[in-house]
Chain A
Amino acid sequence: MVMRKFIWMFCVLVTHNFLFSQQNKLVFHPTFFNQTLKPEVYYKLNAKDSIQITSFKFYISQLELLNGRETVWKEQSSFHLIDAFDEKTLVLSVPSNITFTKIKFQIGIDSLTNVSGAMGGDLDPTKGMYWTWQSGYINFKLEGNSNLCKTHHNEFQFHLGGYQQPFNCLQTVFVQVKSKASVTLNMDVAKLLLYIQLSELNHIMSPSKEAVELSGKITETFSVSYE
C-alpha cells in the first residue's frame, strides 16, 4: 500500500516537472550580415575593406518576459556575460509555461550594481569586463582589425560602458515575439560597424559622448527568428 502511494507520488512529481519546469531557449546569434560570426574570418562591409572580429562580448541583464504590457516573468539576479565565440554563453533559458509576446532586457550593467563593490559569477572582475583605472563595468566590448584602421596591427577596440550621467550607456531592448517557442535573437555586428567610420574612429575606451552614441545603435542590430 505504502509502496503504491510512493509510486503514485513519483509519477505526479515527474509529470509536474515535465509540464511546469521545462525551459525554452533564448539563443543569441551574432552575425556579420547574414553569416554566423566566427573568429579569424575576414568579412567585408564594402568592396575595399576587410574586417576581422577578435572579441565580441557583452552583458545581458534584467531579463523579463511581457504579455502585452504586463510583466509575466522576471529573472532573479539576472546578469549574463555573452561571448560571441563561446557557444555555451549564447543560450539563456526562459520558462515555457508562460505566454508572452515581448522579451525585454538590458545591454549592460545598471548603476546600482556598478557601485556595489566586488561581485562573483559573470560579474567577477576577472572576466575582463571591468575597468580598472576607473570603476565601472564595460557593458559591451567589440575588438578586431581592419585595413581601414591606421593603427598598430590595424586594430580597433570599442569598450562601451559608463553608468553615470551624462555618459550612461545602459540600453533597454524590447523584442516582439510571435510564439512562446524558443527564440533566436540575431545580432548583426555589420550594422554596428556601418555606423562607425573606422578610418576615423578606431577606439573608445572610456565613458564618453561617443560611447553613449554607439551604445544607442546596439539595439538596432537585433532581429528575431525561430527554431
Chain B
Amino acid sequence: MNKKWGIAIIMCLALCAFNIATEHIFEVPKNWPKPIYNFNKNPLTKEKVELGRELFYDPILSKNNLISCASCHSPYTAFTHVDHDLSHGIDDRIGTRNSPALMNLAWHHLYMWDGAINHLDMQALAPISHPDEMGEKIESIVLKLQHSKKYSKLFLKAYGDTVITGEYTLKAISQFMLTLVSANSKYDSVMRKQSHFTEQETKGYKLFKQYCASCHTEPLFTHTGFENNGLAIDTTLNDVGRMRITKNSLDSLKFKVPTLRNIEFSFPYMHDGRFKKISDVLKHYTSGIVHSKTLAQQLQQPILLSSNDKVDLTAFLLTLTDKAFLFNPKHSFPKK
C-alpha cells in the first residue's frame, strides 16, 4: 500500500514539475486573447525550444551554409533586419520585401506580408526555399542534420528519436519562435497598473486610440489582417501584396498590418522598408496617402496631426519598446 502511495506522490510531483516547466516556456500575458497556435499538436518542451533555437541561429539551413534565420531576424532589433530595406540572402541576392519583426507569433492566423503562409510550422519553409533568401531544400537540410553529431544528439534529446524528419525540424523552429513573446514594455506595465505614462505619453496614447488603433489593435498592436495603407506603388517592385495569393482584385495592394511593438528598433518600416524613421511614417499618414480602390476605410478621411501631436504620438510609440524582450538571453545566440 505504502509503495503505491509513494509512486502516486512521485507521479504527481513529476506532473507538477512538468507543468511548471511548460508554464515558464510560454505564458499567455494577462488580459491577452487566447493564442491561435494549437499547442496540443506541438507541446512545448525545454529540449525542443532549445533545438529550435540552435536551428534558428544555424546557417546550416541555407544552401551555402552562410545565412541563418537570424541573419535577417536579429534578436536585438526585434528579430528583424535594420540595415536593409529589402531582405538579403545567399550570394548577396536581394529579395523583394522587408524582413518582418518576429514576436507574439502564436496569435496570428496568417504569416508574411501577403499572408502566403497559413501556419507557423510551415513559415520557415518559405525563406529556406526562396532562391533569394536561403536557397535550400528542406530535404537537403534533413540530410545535413542527419550527418551532424550535434543535431543527432539534440533531436534525440528533444524527440527521443534518432530519425530526423522535416516535421520535427519545422516544429522545433516553431517552438523557439513561439517563445518570442513581447509583453513587458512600459505600455504593458501601465496597463498592469505598475507604472504611469507621462503627460506627453498620455496625450499620445489618446491620439493612438483615435487614429491608429483600429488597425494596430491592442494588445498585439495589429489586428493581424490585411490593409492598403495608401503607399504609392514602387514601380521597380510592382508588389500587389495579398492579391498575389488570393488572385482577388479586392485584395490588391493590401499588406499585413505589422505590430507596432518595439517599433523603435524595427526600422525600416513598411513591406518594402521605404521609411527609415517613425517621423517618415507619420508624414505618410498625414500627407502622403495615395487614394486607390482598395484603400483602407480608416484612411479615406485625412488624418490631421499638428507637429506637437506627432511628438506626443511618437512618445507613446516609444513606450512599446520592450527591453526585457530585446535583450532576453534565452532568445539570443545559443552559447556553446
- Chain A residues packing against B (C-beta within 8 Å): 114-120, 123-128, 130, 132-136, 167, 208
Chain B interface mostly: helix
Which residues does chain A contribute within 8 Å of B142, judged by CB atoms? 126
Which residues does chain A contribute within 8 Å of B83, judged by CB atoms? none
| B41 interface residue per 8 A CB criterion | yes
| B171 interface residue per 8 A CB criterion | yes
Chain A interface mostly: loop
Q: Is the CB of B117 within 8 A of A118?
A: no
Q: A117-B122, A208-B247 are in contact. Are A133 and B116 (CB under 8 A)?
A: yes
Q: Is the CB of B170 within 8 A of A118?
A: yes
In whole angstroms, how far apart are the Cα atoms of A140 and B165 in the complex?
22
What are the 10 A-B residue pairs with the smallest beta carbon separation, nearest first?
Answer: A117-B121, A132-B129, A126-B166, A118-B121, A135-B118, A118-B170, A120-B167, A117-B119, A132-B125, A134-B116
Beta-carbon nearest neighbor of B164 in chain A: A126
What are 5 A-to-B residue pairs whose CB atoms are below 8 Å? A117-B41, A117-B171, A118-B167, A124-B166, A126-B166
In whole angstroms, how far apart are the Cα atoms of A29 and B129 in the complex?
33
Q: Is the CB of A117 within 8 A of B42?
A: yes
Beta-carbon nearest neighbor of B248 in chain A: A166
Beta-carbon nearest neighbor of B128 in chain A: A132
Q: Is the CB of B119 within 8 A of A135?
A: yes
Q: Residue B122 contacts which of A125, A128, A208 (CB distance < 8 angstroms)?
A: A125
Q: Residue A118 contacts which of B126, B129, B174 (CB distance < 8 angstroms)?
A: B174
Q: How far is the CB of A208 from chain B (nearest CB, A)?
A: 7
Interface mask (B5-44 → A, CB under 8 Å = 1, otherwise 0): 0000000000000000000000000000000001001100
Q: Is the CB of A118 within 8 A of B139?
A: no
Beta-carbon nearest neighbor of B139 in chain A: A126
In whole angstroms, how far apart are the Cα atoms of A130 and B38 in the complex?
21
Q: How far is the CB of B254 from chain A (nearest CB, A)?
A: 16
Q: Is the CB of A132 within 8 A of B126?
A: yes
Q: How far is the CB of A113 from chain B (nearest CB, A)?
A: 11
Q: Is the CB of A133 within 8 A of B119?
A: no
**Residue among A118, A130, A167 with most chain B CB within 10 A:** A118
| B233 interface residue per 8 A CB criterion | no
Q: Is the CB of B167 within 8 A of A124?
A: yes
Q: How far is the CB of B137 from chain A (nearest CB, A)?
A: 8
In whole angstroms, how far apart are the Cα atoms of A121 and B122 in the complex?
16
Q: Is the CB of A135 within 8 A of B116?
A: yes
Which residues does chain A contribute within 8 Å of B42, judged by CB atoms? 117-118
Q: Residue B138 contacts which of A115, A116, A125 (CB distance < 8 angstroms)?
A: A125
Q: Is the CB of B174 within 8 A of A136?
A: no
Which residues does chain A contribute within 8 Å of B166, judged by CB atoms? 118, 120, 124-127
Beta-carbon nearest neighbor of B142 in chain A: A126
Beta-carbon nearest neighbor of B143 in chain A: A126
